[in-house]
Amino acid sequence: MARVGVFVCFCGANIADFVDVPKVVEETKKIKEVKYCIEYKYMCSDPGQGMIRNAIVENRLTSVVVAACSPRMHEKTFRKALSDAGMNPYLLEVANIREHSSWVHQKEKKAATEKASDLIRMAVAKSIANEQLHEISVPVTKRALVIGGGIAGIQAALDIADARIPVTLVERSPSIGGRMAQLDETFPTLDCSQCILTPKMVDVASHPYIELIPYSEVLELDGYVGNYKVKIKKKASYVDFSTCTGCGACTQKCPVKIPNEFNMNIDKRKAIYSPFPQAVPNKPVIDAEHCTMLLKGKCGICAKVCEKGSINFKMVDEVIEREIGAVVVATGYDLWDPKPYEEYGVGRFKDVITSLEFERMVSASGPTNGVPVRPSDGKVPKNVVFIKCIGSRDEAKGIEYCSKICCMYTAKHAILLHHKVHDSHAYIFYMDIRAAGKGYEEFVKRAQTETAATYLRGRVSKIYKKGEKLIVRGEDAQIGQVVEVEADLVVLATAIIPYKTNPELARLLGISYDKYGYLSEAHPKLRPVETAKAGIFLAGCTQAPKDIPDTVAQASACAAKVCGLFAGDTMKKDPMISKVNIEYCSGCQNCVKVCPYQAIVTEEVPFGHGVKEMRTVAKINEGVCQGCGSCVAICRSMAINLAGFTDPQIINEIVSI
């Protein structure tokens, strides 16, 4: 005879304000299998869990129902309480009377109370048919994949590798370094970005535990936490890295000139190129879209000048495979295209530029050797207007969110402008100054006092040309008047957006992303680096806009998570997976087709009853099965059952209401 214990939680006021908990308890006590029922303010608290433990022992319970919040929240907590009391943890059922009742029926208390009683009755009925289940152990491949070689990927890779765990780092461009390599100096300390980044890049290349695969992309990810298989496409570089010395003769002689994306297209690069002088690896690649030899079969100068004979025009893309246990995604960010701001003359006025273009110009290694100039005539600007929130916080033209770093980098740009052009003046149009962070407010003050940048609170309504000057018309909300500033150069602080291939990547990794294309963390507060898929973690701007300190912190957090995952030789796995009853299986293999995880294979078994022939039946790979239940639904002969959701359990639930 089943002896079920039911524990109803108030969840403070979350449940109790809308569900009449004593009434629910009274109703529950009427169920004949319920031998014990009690309510408590916070079931998840230590005393609450104690009540469960004691009741199991004292009332010789055979299963337990906790009526509280979503099982996603505290199922693990209560399972542990069961095992602490010597009971199999899978004899627990959670009735979700918070998300499924009190929160969604706040205006109908009576109905909410009745629904809570129904949910409990179902859980009780189900729990009676619960079976004892045991966690599955699966082996772990101790190698991590890091996607993206910006500062986030670099930091994560180094931290994981320092724990002597092998890392494969995949970078789409010819060199690691990412956006940080494009920056001149960094806020709030004005450290030279290259000087603090390049040593880390070199560390990556020389680390014995890091395998760096530049100029490559992830194609496919199969498997499950601890046992992933990844396919990586190594794009043809047409340069044999093993013999190339990085002398640069090929780049020098290449006659093709195309806009240099590393310098925001301000200057030109060659078709055979290395993105920047400190590139790691410092080997050139041939841009197949622009190389005349590859396009038309003419030229080949690079091959003629290469003393080592490293140029190979016949090289093709190569797909390689790696077995890995965990993934860190760090694909970084892109900049929002300010084209919709037609009133600012974007695209018409050469001297209206984006902040990353300005950043490249003030960079000592940039296209103008560290001196900002007007793209229209090459003159050094005196009056520079910076406009913040371009695309960010703008629902009409751009995106709703705050891009987070623009207030700080604009303050930095004002300071850098003053350092490079002493008699210049910076005007900054802003909506708010968001300078939360260590040393950040002080840094903005420095821009306002030391640099004497003019901060104007208000939006710019129009930019028009008068002679050689750009007239910036905006509102100064603090004096309540329209102001016009004569500018030589206008810099737009464009918003951060996720890298454009994020949705595609998310789909191939099997993780989710938000409406903007940022990859979604498992919980916005308590699980900020994990994704909903076990073993896949997020670092940097792929998850949300972030500055360098936050990015590095998150990358290190990812590394800690990966190291934690790899701490044992095997990994525990939920036992709630499908099982095939081969007596019933007809071998139709419909389940093989619907399984989204490729977890079902077939095997040959003896026919039985003295028949010599073999027959085909389905077989579940325990390690791969995620317990989604698709195979259960498709199986015509009801040969597959999902542990924890067996037919008797489900039927019990249905019958009880």
Partner 1 sequence: MKKLTYFPGCSAHGTSEEFDSTLKLVLKTLDVELEDIPDWNCCGATSAHVMTENFAYALPLRNLVLAEKLENTTIGIACASCYQRMKVTKVHMDEKPELAKMITDKIVEEGQYHGNVDVKSMLQFCYEDIGLETIKSKVTKSLAGLKVACYYGCLLTRPKNITKFDSPEYPVSMDKIVEALGAKATEFDYKTECCGASFSISNTEVVLNLSGQILEMAKESGAHAIVVACPLCQSNLDMRQPDIEKQSGKKYDIPIFYFTQLMALAFGYPKEQLRFPKHIVPVEGALSNIGKIEPEPEKIKKTKKAVEAESEVE
Q: Write out the residues near partner 1 by the rule CB under 8 A.
A: 255-256, 292, 299, 342-343, 345, 348, 462-467
Closer of 58 and 484 to partner 1 (Cβ):
484
Residues facing 169 on adjacent strands? 146, 212
Half-sphere exposure at residue 342, Cβ-oriented, CA atoms within 13 angstroms: 1
Nearest approach in angstroms of CB 464 to partner 1 is 3
Nearest approach in angstroms of CB 460 to partner 1 is 12
CB 534 within 8 A of CB 225: yes
For the chain, the 3-state helix, strand and coil shares in percent, each to the nearest 5, are 30, 25, 45
CB 241 within 8 A of CB 262: no
Nearest approach in angstroms of CB 305 to partner 1 is 14
As a whole number of Å, the end-to-end CA separation of the chain is: 21
The whole-angstrom separation of Cα 217 and Cα 401 is 29
Nearest approach in angstroms of CB 341 to partner 1 is 8
Closer of 342 and 377 to partner 1 (Cβ):
342
Closer of 133 and 303 to partner 1 (Cβ):
303
Closer of 299 and 631 to partner 1 (Cβ):
299
SS3 36: strand
Closer of 238 and 333 to partner 1 (Cβ):
238
Nearest approach in angstroms of CB 256 to partner 1 is 6
Nearest approach in angstroms of CB 467 to partner 1 is 8
Closer of 229 and 339 to partner 1 (Cβ):
339
The whole-angstrom separation of Cα 320 and Cα 218 is 10
Nearest one of 423, 489, 492, 490 to 451, comparing CA atoms: 423
505, two tokens? 């990547």
Nearest approach in angstroms of CB 476 to partner 1 is 19
Nearest one of 429, 557, 413 to 484, comparing CA atoms: 429
Closer of 322 and 469 to partner 1 (Cβ):
469
Q: How far lies 527's CA from each of 355, 533, 578, 623, 653, in Å?
A: 33, 12, 28, 24, 32
Closer of 322 and 397 to partner 1 (Cβ):
397
Nearest approach in angstroms of CB 465 to partner 1 is 6
- CA 90 from chain centre, in angstroms, equals 32
The whole-angstrom separation of Cα 558 and Cα 619 is 35
Nearest approach in angstroms of CB 293 to partner 1 is 11
The dihedrals phi and psi of 124, each to the nearest 5 degrees, come to -60, -50
The whole-angstrom separation of Cα 150 and Cα 305 is 32
- CA 477 from chain centre, in angstroms, equals 38
Closer of 339 and 572 to partner 1 (Cβ):
339
H or E stretch covering 647: helix 647-656
The whole-angstrom separation of Cα 524 and Cα 528 is 5
